[in-house]
């Protein structure tokens, strides 16, 4: 089910970044390192924890059953990340269709499915 715009609009940049890090199979310390690299600035666990807690409250994230410190996006969480990503890429692309957003997200999803188990 595709989430509504108001649901997608609740996602912060940090939550989208965490979503992508978790799609790639990162546990929390690795997710923090990835985000530090993306933004080229230090990030503390306390800065991330509020986003993790909120994502869990919204039903977008669940603890990984096998990886301590790991999380899995729920179906809704994955849909929110996917739709927000696609919308942002289309915004950047200005409707020119130069980027295949579906293919770009499929790469992340395939990687996620390999690391999910």
- Extents of the domains making up the chain: 5-115
Task: Supply the pLDDT for residue 115.
Answer: 47
Question: Mind listing the pLDDT tens digit for each residue in 53-97?
Answer: 999 999 999 999 988 878 999 999 999 988 888 887 777 777 777
Determine the Cα–Cα distance for residues 33 and 30; give it in Å rounded to an integer.
Answer: 5
- How far is 1 from 100, CA to CA, in rounded Å? 21
At residue 59, the 3 state secondary structure works out as: coil
* Reported pTM: 0.77
Compare 114 and 17 and report the one with higher pLDDT.
Answer: 17
- Specify whether the CB–CB gap between 97 and 52 falls below 8 A: no
Query: Which CATH architecture group holds 5-115?
Result: Orthogonal Bundle (1.10)
Q: Are 27 and 7 in contact (CB under 8 A)?
A: no
Which token pair is 59?
A: 């039903």
């Amino acid at each position: 089910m595709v989430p509504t715009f108001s649901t997608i609009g609740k996602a912060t940049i940090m939550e989208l970044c965490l979503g992508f890090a978790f799609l790639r199979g990162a546990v929390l310390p690795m997710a923090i390192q990835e985000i530090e690299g993306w933004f080229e600035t230090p990030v503390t666990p306390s800065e991330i924890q509020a986003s993790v807690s909120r994502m869990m409250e919204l039903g977008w994230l669940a603890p990984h059953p096998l990886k301590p410190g790991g999380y899995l996006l729920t179906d809704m969480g994955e849909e929110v990340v996917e739709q927000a990503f696609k919308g942002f890429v289309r915004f950047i692309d200005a409707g020119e269709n130069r980027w295949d957003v579906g293919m770009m997200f499929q790469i992340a999803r395939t990687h996620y499915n390999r690391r999910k188990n």
